[in-house]
Amino acid sequence: MIPQNVGVINETKSKLAVKIGGIAMKNPVATASGTFGFGSEYAPYIDLNQLGALVVKGITLQPRAGNPTPRLVETAAGVLNSIGLQNPGVERFIGELLPGLACFDLPVIVNIAGDTVQDYGRLAARLDRVSGVAGLEVNISCPNVKKGGMQFGSDPDMAAEVTRAVKAGTDKTVIVKLSPNVTSIEAVAEKVASAGADALSMINTLLGMAIDVKSRRPVLGNVLGGLSGPAVKPVAVRAVWQVYRETGLPIIGMGGIITAEDAIEFILAGATAIAVGTANFVNPQATMDVLSGIKQYIIENDVQDINELVGAAHR
Amino acid sequence: MLITDALIIKQEEIIPGFHRITLSAGEAAKNARPGQFLHVRCADTLDPLLRRPISIHAVDREKGEVSLFYRVVGRGTALLADREKGDRVNVLGPLGKGFTMPEGNGGVAVVAGGIGIAPLYFFLQELSVIKICANVFLGAATKKQLFFSGGIEALGHNVFPATDDGTAGYYGNVVELFAQNLSDSVYGCGPAGMLRSLCQTIKKYNIRGEVSLEERMGCGVGACLSCACKTVDEEGNYRYSRVCAEGPVFTAGEVVWE
């Protein structure tokens, strides 16, 4: 009786395996950078080994203090944040944080951000030599920093230049994270693809702001922030849908995923994997709930391999 | 640390806009330390989306009950106030770093501003367990917002009220009242302006002090870096600390007021 059950579970597992460039994920569920710290914060709530991939908080060459407060404000079915890439810098990440993840059986993807094209190249080269890093997610879409960030992601040629610099620095899988704050996300995606990106992730947050009507001042310390949560999901699904049509690259889809249904919507739009972000704040076990819902969906719908569903809404 | 759908035992309106909710949450009751908080899912909706961090107000370990004392300030807390006895509310916690329990013979004071008594009441419960009697400086805008003074006295502490409008006790600022009755260590919670002035008093008289801060939170578990507070360490290095993880209780000297 027991071996039979194990067999069923293993079968379901293999049906869930996906690949993002050279990264083999045992299932399509990843964490969205910036919402999951460095993983250890959530270890008391979930078994990290069950995740398809862990995408850590954005890392820069030098430590960053981050933006003034308030850094977060709740909006209708969403959240505006402006953290400002607070992080300990790449050296402390490698020396102090990454070793703690070695005991987990999951690919670690490092989100990298820079002020200049050279910064991205240096970060890629530094992390290329580090075992325990499966791939890099290139953050050219952070709306909350003065230099770099979204500036790179909103200009297709700049986005391509950053991609080339990262590719020149590493043989690891390079995933470029796209901004929705552009006129044509397909145009950016195409340039990034031809510059050698192995995969794309989308979307980063939508640029937004909130004003306190009592004080008559912007709520966030940094004035502008990035909108995430269920409010942005239709925008994100649209972006995945459009980019899937234009490039052949695998996509990690994200933006407001709360439930397994949300995740499947992204997969049907063209995402090979998905990332859970803001939902982690609401429910620290959101990734596991999404994963078990996906398993249930493929069993109920007699799906032989989750890859069959990728982009299925286009057919 | 855990997530639980806690049964609501009691929902009381202490005065209009100020509620106390009592939850059956055995694990949380067993593990909670004064100054820690629960991250509360006020309703099962996606709007409002986020949990609300609410400090633990009182614990009954025998019954396995945890009380939260909160002010209705927005949609989340309004939804929480609508929840009734017998409903369940999803809570995460206890979370954060609480107060350091005093050791030795020095005098202990507590300074609370309005709703700031919320976490300090639990601290006072624990003090009376270890037979320490504190001077409790309760500040409020007006008499009816001097919460739980009877209960605090019943725990064996001395209450010194202060009101902004002079309707009870000292006519004026609660920190001024404390400054006239200093002790070796002090524990504070209340509005930012009050805490700032308390921290200045602590520094001026070189006494030990801890304050519990409030900040908008995302995850509550240290991952999102939203609830930042500027702090300075003993070597003079500034950084943003996480109110949910390094706090919500900080030593008075750590907090940088801007």
Q: Which residue has the tokens 């990264």?
A: A23
Cβ contact A74–B224 (<8 Å): no
Instruction: Look at residue A147 in the predicted model and tell me its pLDDT.
Output: 67
Instruction: Look at residue A12 in the predicted model and tell me its pLDDT.
Output: 62
Instruction: Look at residue A109 in the predicted model and tell me its pLDDT.
Output: 98
Determine contact: A12 vs chain B, CB below 8 A: no
Give the pLDDT mean for B52-58.
98
Whether residue B249 contacts residue B99, with contact meaning beta carbons closer than 8 Å, is answered with: yes
The total domain count for chain B is: 2
Q: What is the pLDDT along chain A (315 residues), one digit of tens a residue?
A: 344 444 455 556 689 999 999 999 999 999 999 999 999 999 999 999 999 999 999 999 999 999 999 999 999 999 999 999 999 999 999 999 999 999 999 999 999 999 999 999 999 999 998 999 999 999 998 776 666 677 788 899 999 999 999 999 999 999 999 999 999 999 999 999 999 999 999 999 999 999 999 999 999 999 999 999 999 999 999 999 999 999 999 999 999 999 999 999 999 999 999 999 999 999 999 999 999 999 999 999 999 999 999 999 999
Nearest Cβ partner for B226 among A45, A71, A76: A71
Residue B75 in any domain: the answer is yes
Question: Which residues of chain A neighbour B46 with C-beta distances below 8 Å?
Answer: 77, 229-230, 258
Determine the Cα–Cα distance for residues A208 and A198; give it in Å rounded to an integer: 30
Residue B242 in any domain: the answer is no
Instruction: Look at residue B1 in the predicted model and tell me its pLDDT.
Output: 52
Nearest Cβ partner for B221 among A42, A86, A230: A42
Asked whether the CA dihedral B2, B4, B9, B10 is positive or negative, the reply is positive
Determine contact: A297 vs chain B, CB below 8 A: no
Determine contact: B229 vs chain A, CB below 8 A: yes
pLDDT of B247 over the 90 cut: yes
Domain limits for position B33: 2-95
The reply to whether B115 and B195 lie within a common domain is: yes
DSSP-based three-state secondary structure for A202: strand
Question: Which residues of chain A neighbour B216 with C-beta distances below 8 Å?
Answer: 70-74
Residue B237 in any domain: the answer is no
For the question of an ipTM over 0.90, the answer is: yes
Nearest Cβ partner for A66 among B218, B221, B225: B225
Q: In chain A, positions 30-69, which contact chain B (CB-CB < 8 Å)? A: 34-37, 41-42, 44-45, 57, 65-66, 69
Whether residue B61 contacts residue B29, with contact meaning beta carbons closer than 8 Å, is answered with: yes
Residue B120 in any domain: the answer is yes
Q: In chain B, positions 161-220, which contact chain A (CB-CB < 8 Å)? A: 215-220
Give the pLDDT mean for B192-216.
96
Whether residue B43 contacts residue B118, with contact meaning beta carbons closer than 8 Å, is answered with: no
Q: Per-residue DSSP letters for B78-114?
A: HHHHH--TT-EEEEEEEESB-PPPP-SS--EEEEEEG
Report the candidate in A218, A226, A216, A153 with the shortest Cα–Cα distance to residue A187. A153
Does the model's pTM come out above 0.90?
yes
Instruction: Look at residue A150 in the predicted model and tell me its pLDDT.
Output: 75
Residue B101 in any domain: the answer is no
Q: Per-residue DSSP letters for A232-298?
A: GHHHHHHHHHHHHHH--S-EEEESS--SHHHHHHHHHHT-SEEEE-THHHH-TTHHHHHHHHHHHHH
Determine the Cα–Cα distance for residues B223 and B245; give it in Å rounded to an integer: 9
What CATH number corresponds to the domain at position B198? Answer: 3.40.50.80
Determine contact: B141 vs chain A, CB below 8 A: no
Residue B58 in any domain: the answer is yes
Nearest Cβ partner for A42 among B223, B225, B227: B223
- Domains detected in chain A: 2-65+86-205+230-314 (3.20.20.70)
Tell me if residue A103 is catalytic.
no
The token pair at A219 is 């709520």
Whether residue B250 contacts residue B239, with contact meaning beta carbons closer than 8 Å, is answered with: no
pLDDT, tens digit, 9 for 90 and up, residues B145-203? 999 999 999 999 999 999 999 999 999 999 999 999 999 999 999 999 999 999 999 99
Catalytic, out of A142, A207, A252, A298: A142
Q: Which residue has the tokens 């299925």?
A: A312
Single-letter amino acid, residue A2: I
Report the candidate in B75, B97, B89, B52 with the shortest Cα–Cα distance to residue B213. B97
What CATH number corresponds to the domain at position B74? Answer: 2.40.30.10
pLDDT of B75 over the 70 cut: yes
